[in-house]
Every structure is written in C-alpha cells, then in structure tokens.
C-alpha cells in the first residue's frame, strides 16, 4: 500500500506571486536565448553549417552524438531546443536532426541511473532502484531500434510531422507567440550588437542563457507544482497504467523536465513502495511531456518570421513535431503488445539482478552505455 508523504506547508500569496513573476522572467530569458542562437548560426554562415552537417550526416553518428551530449549535460530539453534552433536557422536539415532527437531521448535517462546510485550501499534497495531507472533506458532503445530504420526507409515520423506543420501554417499557427517575439527580438539584437555580431560569442551567450533559463525553469515550476502533486501521486496515480501515463505526461509538461519527473519515483521503487511495472507507464508519459519544450522553442523561433525565413522555421517546427511523434509512436507500437511491453521490464530486472550480485556491473552500465559507447561509436561513424 502506498504511504502518503507528510503534508507540506501551503505557499503564501506573496510567495506565489513572486514565483509566478520569476517564471515569466525565466521564460523571457529562454526566448531571448533562442533568438541569440538562431542569430549566431546565421552569423557563422555556410562554413559552420557544412562542418556540422558533415558530423551528423551518418544517422548512427547523429544518434550517438545526441546520447553523449544529453548524458553530459543531463538535459534533453537543452539538446532538443538547440537542435530546433539549428534546424530553424537553416544550419541543420530535418533528416540529420532526427537521430539527434532520438539520441537525446536515450541520454536523458542517465539522471535516473545516477539517482539510483544513491542506494548503492543497500543491495536490496539498489537492485530495485536501478531496475526502476533502467526500464526507461530500454524502452527508449527499443523505440529507436524500431523507428529509426522505419524513418530512414519510409519517413514514418517526418511525413506526419511535416503535415502537422503545414496545417499550422495554413491556420496561422506559427504566429502564436508573435507578441512575445516583438519584445524578445529587440533584446536579442541589442545583445548581438554588444558582442559586435561575433557568431561564436553570440552562440556562447545564447547557450549560457539557455542553460540558466532551463535550470531555473525546472526549479521554479517544481516549487509551484510538484509539492502540490506529490500527495495525489502517491495515493491515486499508480493503480492503473493509463492514469500513471497521464500523470507522467501532465507533471512533466508543468515541470518541464522528464528527468525530475522520473527521478522522483526511483527512491520509491528502491524502498519497495512502487514496482518497476507500476512506474513503467509513468515514464512513458514523461517521455511525451518533455517534448513540449522543443515545441515551444520551435513556435518561438517561428513567430514573426519573414518570408525568406519561412522554410527554415517550418523545418524547425517539423523537427519538434518529430520529437512528439517519436514518443507517441513508440508507446503505440510497444506498450499495447504484451510481449513487447515485457521486454524493457525484464531487461531492467536483469540489470537489477546483476547490480545486486556485483555493484561494479552498475558502474559499467552507467559509464559504458551513456558515455563510453557513444563516445567510441561517434568516432567510428
């Protein structure tokens, strides 16, 4: 039976207002950072684009680059937002960006594994915790193994994503954030002028602002939402798979970090309060919820784009929709079929048993899968 956490003190109205104002300020910084990165890629010109495309032209190289980048910074939102900015600026094409997005989906699960290491001194807890953490990894790997070849052969992700983009363009959906763009663009241009329109300097400042914005976006949203949601989650969420999936999706949309959402339940699995089977659908919902960041970034970059930029910004929105499609299609293909649904669960439990026998296996799993193997294969491909 699930044990509810102790009640938390309600936020005062003044504290709530301050957090909402802080949230608006952080969102402003987020949109300015996207403007800066888009401008930086244009300033660096075709030579930079050709060099980048050369490194991601091979789909496997792009996949492993996405895994490694996300594992290093532990934020798929940063990597996917950056990828959207690259595509929207015309620096990267949709075909080359898709493996990067898939790799980011795998790399983001490294946070769960690191959280599970907190149980390493207690063998039984560690066995359960690392199993709970790795079920997310194995599902994402399965989705890539199934969907990457289908995308390369038939465009199963890019074609519906392009259709959605075309539909939004037809109804004026690209201008949904135009009023905000009118405020952020002058600030981005001012910063660009301060940096003497140096492409590398503008990119570095844009990246720094993106990191700061996403970091504090998670902190503020967590303070606003998570404390109020934990009690509900513990009592009602994990009884039915559909509810668990919905909870993972909604909570991740609000918190803007699947790492936070999924890492929250790992200690509960380690303590034996929840099982791997119970949290599996919850992690799948978090997978879908985390795609909202890239979609928001794409809409921000598309807002107010001129006719000469329209094709590129539409491509940015297409890659954001690809991210959504990848996670939804992965769930549709794998979860309803009992045999396929059992594979990530059984593999996760196997990793848990290995870690129980010798904790060195867990270290090898963490370092090898998320850092060593992607680094090695990035060089090979």
Residue 256, pLDDT > 80, answer no
* Confidence band for 1, pLDDT divided at 50, 70 and 90: very low
Q: What's the chain's Rg over C-alpha atoms?
A: 21
Domain hosting residue 278, numbered range = 13-380
- pLDDT of 148 reads 95
Residue 223, pLDDT > 90, answer no
- Residue 289 phi/psi, 5-degree rounding, is -60, -35
Is residue 180 within 8 A of residue 296, CB to CB? The reply is: no
Average pLDDT of the chain, as a whole number: 81
- Residue 304 phi/psi, 5-degree rounding, is 75, 15
> What contacts 40, CB < 8 A, 6 or more positions away?
199, 200, 202, 203, 206
**Is residue 174 situated within a structural domain?**
yes
**Is residue 8 situated within a structural domain?**
no
- pLDDT of 140 reads 95
**Is residue 217 situated within a structural domain?**
yes
**Is residue 6 situated within a structural domain?**
no
Of residues 75, 54, 66, the one with CA closest to residue 98: 66
Burial (0-12, 13-18, 19+ Cβ within 10 Å), 3: exposed
**Is residue 127 situated within a structural domain?**
yes
Overall number of domains in the chain: 1
Q: Please identify which residue in the block is written with the tokens 């699960």.
A: 109
**Is residue 4 situated within a structural domain?**
no
- pLDDT of 86 reads 82
Is residue 289 within 8 A of residue 248, CB to CB? The reply is: yes
**Is residue 2 situated within a structural domain?**
no
* Confidence band for 45, pLDDT divided at 50, 70 and 90: low
- pLDDT of 119 reads 85
Residue 179, pLDDT > 80, answer no
Q: What is the DSSP string of 246-289?
A: HHHHHHHHHHT-HHHHHHTTHHHHHTTSS-HHHHHHHHHHHHHH
* Confidence band for 299, pLDDT divided at 50, 70 and 90: confident
* Confidence band for 170, pLDDT divided at 50, 70 and 90: low
Residue-wise pLDDT for 74-125, tens only, equals: 678 778 888 888 888 777 888 889 999 999 999 888 888 988 888 888 899 9
Residue-wise pLDDT for 366-379, tens only, equals: 999 888 888 887 67
Residues 283, 379: Cα–Cα separation, whole Å: 31
Residue 272, pLDDT > 70, answer yes
Of residues 264, 240, 301, the one with CA closest to residue 90: 301
Average pLDDT rounded to a whole number, residues 296-312: 70
**Is residue 151 situated within a structural domain?**
yes
Residue 279 corresponds to which tokens in the numbers above?
């949290």
């Amino acid at each position: 039976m699930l044990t509810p956490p102790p009640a938390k003190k309600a936020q005062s109205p003044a504290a709530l207002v301050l957090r909402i104002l802080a949230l608006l300020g952080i969102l402003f910084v987020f949109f300015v950072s996207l403007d800066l990165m888009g401008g930086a890629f244009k300033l660096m010109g075709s030579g930079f684009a050709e060099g980048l495309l050369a490194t991601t032209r091979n789909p496997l190289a792009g996949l492993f680059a996405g895994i490694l980048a996300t594992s290093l910074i532990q934020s798929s939102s940063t990597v996917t937002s950056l990828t959207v900015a690259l595509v929207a600026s015309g620096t990267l094409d949709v075909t080359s960006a898709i493996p990067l997005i898939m790799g980011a989906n795998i790399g983001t699960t490294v946070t769960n594994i690191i959280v599970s290491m907190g149980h390493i001194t207690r063998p039984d807890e560690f066995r359960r915790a690392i199993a709970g953490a790795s079920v997310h990894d194995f599902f994402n790997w399965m989705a890539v193994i199934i969907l990457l070849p289908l995308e390369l052969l038939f465009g199963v992700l890019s074609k519906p994503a392009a259709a959605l983009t075309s539909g939004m363009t037809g109804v004026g959906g690209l201008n949904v954030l135009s009023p905000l763009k009118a405020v952020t663009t002058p600030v981005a241009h001012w910063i660009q002028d301060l940096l003497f329109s140096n492409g590398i300097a503008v990119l570095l400042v844009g990246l720094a602002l993106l990191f700061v914005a996403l970091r504090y976006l998670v902190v503020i949203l967590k303070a606003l939402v998570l404390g109020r949601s934990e009690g509900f989650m513990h009592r009602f969420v994990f009884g039915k798979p559909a509810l668990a999936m919905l909870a993972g999706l909604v909570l991740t949309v609000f918190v803007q970090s699947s790492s936070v959402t999924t890492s929250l339940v790992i200690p509960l699995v380690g303590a034996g309060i929840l099982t791997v089977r119970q949290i599996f659908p919850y992690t799948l919902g978090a997978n879908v919820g985390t795609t909202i960041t890239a979609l928001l970034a794409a809409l921000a970059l598309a807002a107010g784009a001129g006719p000469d930029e329209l094709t590129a910004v539409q491509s940015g929105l297409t890659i954001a929709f690809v991210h959504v499609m990848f996670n939804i299609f992965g769930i549709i293909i794998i979860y309803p079929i009992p045999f396929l649904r059992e594979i990530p669960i059984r593999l996760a439990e196997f990793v848990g048993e290995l870690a129980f026998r010798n904790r060195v296996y867990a270290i090898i799993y963490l370092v090898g899968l998320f850092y060593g193997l992607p680094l090695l294969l990035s060089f090979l491909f």
